[in-house]
Chains A and B, each alone.
Chain A
Amino acid sequence: MSASFPTAAASPVAAAAPALRVRDLSVRFGGHLAVSSVDLDVPAGRISGLIGPNGAGKTTTFNAICGVITPTSGQVELGGDDVSKLSTHQRARRGIGRTFQRLEVFSSLSVRDNVRVGLEIRQSWSRRRAAAPQFLAGGAELSADDEVALIIDRLGLVEVAEVPVGSLPTGQARKVELGRALAARPSVLLLDEPASGLDEQESVEFGALLGTLAASGLAILLVEHDIALVMRVCSELSVLNFGQLIAHGTPEQVQSNAAVLDAYLGGGGNDATAVERAAVDAGVNVSDTSWSGPGAPS
């Protein structure tokens, strides 16, 4: 199964300059330094992972990248342009798309309308500033209705397309958020725990979908607690702990990094079985291991 989808590293687009570049990003909430001097490079055509225990500053980093919060210092570059001074919607128009850890769906609208709103908002600005191609269609141009239908189909939401999102289970609502973000045709997609609420089978399919998207040129930054998924799909990983980057490298390098094991296990590192099992499983086959934070392995 794991060999059936294209691996991101093999993509020909991967060599270009990073689509998203974050330099020296810091966010301070009162006396608490939530994110401290973080650097990130998210290249087009690849899936980069951002992992770390709960409270490490992953969501805050996302919020600062897309302009939902103003960072204390630091720079965000998109396709070589500095977007640090731009508002959220201006950054979105330059190609940042995202999903949310705590659902931000349009709960009174149907699944189809959620996706359609994403597309319509994009249509309202893309006359002035060209949006990225629809990576889900491999860059092919589609009519609006076809594009919405394609997104719903590819995300496996056909059966619930007319259901108000407010009444969907979390896993499906997360797919709706992803579909909505894709309808706006970002060039960089930030995914905040998109697989939580998915079962094992769905998680595998989801990983394959991300692989397809990256293969057509989308830059993806993935925050995820499903370590098996992360190890399977990411070509590189950054690890945050207490707001600081403590490791960066390929999944293989990161899983053998002592600081990372330490961060996840809260110091001792003597109960490494869960991490090891996750890492091993991730390398070889699909596991049933998905843990949700530093407390889980104990």
Chain B
Amino acid sequence: MDKFLTFTIAGLSSAAIYAIAASGLVVTYTTSGIFNFAHGAFGMMAAFTYWQVHVAWGVPTIPAVILVVFVIAPIFGAVIERVIMRGIEGASDVVKIVVTVSLMVALLGIAQVIWPQNVSRPVPPFFEGRFVELFGVRVPWARLMALVIALVVAGGLKLLFTRTRLGIAMRAVVDDRSLLQLNGGRPGRTAMLSWGLGAGLAAISGVLYSTEQTLSAITLTLLVVNTYAVAVVGRLRSLPGAFLGAVILGLAQSYVTGYINPGLTIGPIALGNLAAALPAIMLFIVLLVQPEERLRAHGVERPRNPIRVPSQTVAIVGGVALVVVLAALGSLMSASDLVLVTKGAGIALVTLSLVPLTGYAGQISLAQMTFVGIGAVAMAAWGASGSPLAVVLVVAVCAVVGAVVALPALRLSGIYLALATAAFALFCTAMFFNQQTIIRAGSVQVPPLSFGPLSINTDFRQLVLTAIVFALLGNGLVWLRRSAWGRRLTAMKDSPVACATLGLNLTSTKVGVFALSAAIAGAGGAMSGRTFTADSFSLPASLPVTMLAVVGGIGSIAGAFIGGMLLGAIPIASTIFAANAIGIFRFVSLPVTNVLSFTPGLMGISLGREPDGAAPQIAVGYRAVGDSPPALVVSAAGAVALWVATRVGVITKWSFFAALVVFVVAVVPLLPLILTPRLPEDQAEPPRRVACAIWLALATIAAVLIPWATAITSNGVRVLLVLVLAALSARVAIGVLGVTPEQLRRPLPPSPDLIGVDRPLSRADAIEATHMMGLTEDEFEAEVSRAGADVAAAPVGALR
């Protein structure tokens, strides 16, 4: 009985912390419409700040708590709202999720830079050594205090939302922001306040939790998954629901810890980690019993940048080019660089798995590395000989697992799929990847594939294989996107409700695409031929994959490749910079490698400004190359020439690298402008093609001739100077030419609804409108001249 009571009280005190954290999450979600995946990271930052203020600087407990919980955390939350979240209001679910997930990853990286992991940071418990006797059980004051704080928070929030003007405005802001504004409310200020409040609540829970456990950035950040499970009980919107969920989870975890023998096993699975897996299990059960989300017809947004689907020919050419270029690069690299690039290409396969799911269907997954892990472990178990047939089996298993995982969440909206996949990642780490019977000694070796006599047993072969698989899958996805099913996915992304009213079963369609995505990720694991640590399959490893896939521009295969390579580039950059750059690349005493650890997060946050990702923007420049055969020929010939020159030893590898970067960044995007006779519209002066071509040739030659290998000793300085040279060459070339690639963009037929709204009127608009009114151009000109000679002479764009 004592034991039961002890664990009940322990459970209730964790429940109190969960409830406080979950109420913060619910407050920000209901008042800003943004589900803050970084909520746990807010709490983590607060806990570390508390340690800094209280333990490191010796500020007494009460002022330290007040400073952290009531001053620093709310200001931090409000600033985050103002700087980041306001930009993504009205963005798609995917962008909102990726931005907050990126914030979480960035905060995690920043915390690890400020407070390195190798130092132990104990936080003294509140009221140390003081106990109360309750039914014969000694209960620490701190636990009772947690309960009291939870009750105070509950009461305070109830009063705030029902009795105060501010609370009612907070509820109104999410219902109809513009209406609130019309009625004299200030939605911006209200949203900042609600984020400040949410961050304050996160801080309370973080500080309380830090006194019970060792201070660990990852543990505290991932505690947020417990909070999700708790908040889902109240459908993310109800505070009483969240409190109920907290009690259930707190007690369940406590009893599991108390009563289930950690040595107990079910089959090969030891139950020692069951308490850690409970939030995930609870989340799934809650999702299963939720009624299906009702559809909403609220009008479709006009897309800013419809992603152009490449023709199959372009996709095939792109695939062949990818294989050739990667093989050429691979043959030049040192063994250690080759390993990194091969891993990067492997990750590109994983980001590719998000193209159908996120790019085409508008769904999201935060567990792609988990599927890689399932693929890797299954391949190690069943495909020791490296048989391609084993890959087929493994891929099928991943597809089935994916379908089962996604099913409960797919009946609901996008945010729940993100939660469910995050929970699945945690569940698999606890109950599968961290089991000695499944991954022995924390790492798994995926057997290299062999095709008859050809074994993929070198890094170079692995790189070529990965490139071929990427090219094939990429082509398959382009074909899929152009097929009936692909059109249906795009249609479902644009308007789910319209699809349903045409007879489409949304759930089975989404399950299908999720299974496909899981299968591709599983294939990425099964065909990797490398060693993975169990950590690589965890939630923190999956997050950057999803983030960078979206940053790369998830609607396109090229975007997936860019995303994968960005992610692959971070370890490459780390090794380059770590080699001998320290001492030069220190700013505010941060080694560059540490800065790189939170770069992915910052890149993700940048989506708040550019929600379409990088690929569509880069594509504007490069797309024209695809349309211009002479430009394609020159690009390919230039790249091959550089490669041959390096291969035969005429130029050094660093010269090759520098020349290639200059060529790709500065020369290739401008080639169509230089080589194609077609002039952009409204171009007063002809572009100075010859001068520009000479400049670009000089820049490339300079890149080759600079003695990078001998004149500069630091790899970091080399890379930086190469990038500077490329950027300068491009900038000057555009200046010389007098035309930018954007001007080549073929304009879409303008929508009369938006003329003059989304951009200034052009003369073409006016003429088209004239035609629509049934007038001839002459009559239009007559009208214009009647309006006045000075007006007629001005471009219509200036007449605003």
Contact = CB atoms under 8 A, between A and B. Distances in A.
Interface residues of A, number: 48
Contacts of B295: 68, 88
B686 interface: no
Contacts of B487: 109, 113, 116-117, 120
A104 interface: yes
Interface stretch (B71-79, B528-536, B749-757): B749-757
B751 A169 contact: yes
A40 B497 CA distance: 23
Contacts of B292: 87
B306 A121 contact: no
Interface string B493-526: 1110111111111100000000000000000000
A102 B296 CA distance: 11
B751 A100 contact: no
A15 to B, nearest CB: 28
Nearest to B500: A88
Interface in B386-419: none
A70 B294 contact: yes
Contacts of A93: 503
B494 A106 contact: yes
Interface stretch (B145-153, B180-188, B297-305, B779-787): B297-305
Given A166-B303, A167-B302, A97 B495 contact: no
A105 B504 CA distance: 15
Nearest to B304: A166
B588 interface: no
B503 A184 contact: yes
B121 interface: no
A97 B501 contact: yes
A156 interface: no
B86 interface: no
Contacts of A46: none
Contact of B298 (A67, A102, A118): A102
Interface in B750-768: 750-753
Contacts of A101: 297
B504 A89 contact: yes
Given A106-B494, A109-B487, A68 B748 contact: no
B264 interface: no
A160 B748 CA distance: 12
A150 interface: no
Contacts of A170: 753
Nearest to A108: B306
A116 B487 CA distance: 9
Contacts of B498: 100, 104-106, 177, 180
A272 interface: no
B566 to A, nearest CB: 25
A167 B751 contact: yes
Contacts of B491: 106, 109, 114, 117
B647 interface: no
A93 B300 CA distance: 23
Given A107-B302, A169-B751, A98 B501 contact: yes
Interface string A68-110: 1110000000000000000111001100111011111111110
B307 interface: yes
Given A63-B297, A184-B502, A169 B752 contact: yes
Interface in B253-303: 292, 294-303
Given A63-B297, A68-B501, A92-B501, A104 B495 contact: yes
Contacts of A163: 748-749
Contact of B750 (A98, A100, A167): A167
B311 to A, nearest CB: 14
A163 to B, nearest CB: 6
Which secondary structure dominates chain B's binding surface? loop
A297 B332 CA distance: 78
Given A63-B297, A169-B751, A104 B497 contact: yes
Contacts of B484: 116-117, 120, 123-124
B774 to A, nearest CB: 12
Given A68-B497, A117-B487, A120-B487, A181 B502 contact: yes
B503 A121 contact: yes
A122 B503 contact: yes
Nearest to B299: A102
A269 interface: no
Interface in A121-180: 121-125, 160, 163-164, 166-170, 177, 180
A89 B494 contact: no
Given A89-B500, A93-B503, A106 B490 contact: yes
Contact of A104 (B299, B490, B506, B753): B299
A66 interface: yes
**What is the interface residue range for chain B against chain A?**
35 or more
A108 B503 contact: no
B488 interface: yes
Contacts of A160: 749
Contacts of A108: 303, 306-307, 490, 493-494
B502 A97 contact: yes
A89 B495 contact: no
Interface string B74-97: 000000000000000000000000
A100 B297 contact: yes
A167 B748 contact: yes
A168 B751 contact: yes
A66 B504 CA distance: 13
Contacts of A98: 501
Nearest to A125: B503
Contacts of A177: 498
A166 B302 contact: yes
A98 B499 CA distance: 11
A1 B581 CA distance: 83
Contacts of A122: 502-503
Given A104-B498, A109-B494, A117-B487, A166 B306 contact: yes
Contact of B749 (A68, A87, A102, A167): A167
Nearest to B508: A89
A114 B298 CA distance: 18
A97 B501 CA distance: 6
B749 A109 contact: no
A118 B294 CA distance: 21
Nearest to A68: B295
Contact of B300 (A63, A92, A103, A121): A103
Nearest to A170: B753
A68 B504 contact: no
A66 B484 CA distance: 24
B298, B491, B750: which has the most chain A beta carbons within 10 Å?
B491
A142 B196 CA distance: 61
Given A88-B501, A120-B488, A68 B297 contact: yes
A135 to B, nearest CB: 16
Contact of A107 (B300, B503, B753): B300
A217 to B, nearest CB: 19
Which of A63, A105, A121 has the most C-beta atoms of chain B within 10 angstroms of its own C-beta?
Answer: A121
Interface of A: 63, 66-70, 87-89, 92-93, 96-98, 100-109, 113-114, 116-118, 120-125, 160, 163-164, 166-170, 177, 180-181, 183-184
Which 10 A/B pairs are nearest by Cβ-Cβ distance? A102-B299, A92-B503, A88-B500, A104-B498, A106-B494, A104-B495, A108-B306, A106-B491, A120-B484, A166-B302
Interface of B: 292, 294-303, 306-307, 484, 487-488, 490-491, 493-495, 497-506, 748-753
26 contacts: A68-B501, A88-B497, A88-B501, A89-B501, A89-B503, A92-B503, A96-B501, A97-B502, A103-B300, A104-B299, A104-B498, A106-B300, A106-B494, A107-B494, A108-B493, A109-B491, A163-B749, A164-B748, A166-B303, A166-B306, A167-B302, A168-B751, A169-B751, A169-B752, A170-B753, A181-B502
Given A68-B500, A121-B503, 19 more contacts: A68-B294, A89-B505, A92-B503, A104-B299, A104-B300, A106-B300, A106-B498, A108-B307, A117-B502, A121-B502, A122-B502, A122-B503, A125-B503, A167-B748, A167-B749, A167-B751, A169-B751, A177-B498, A184-B502
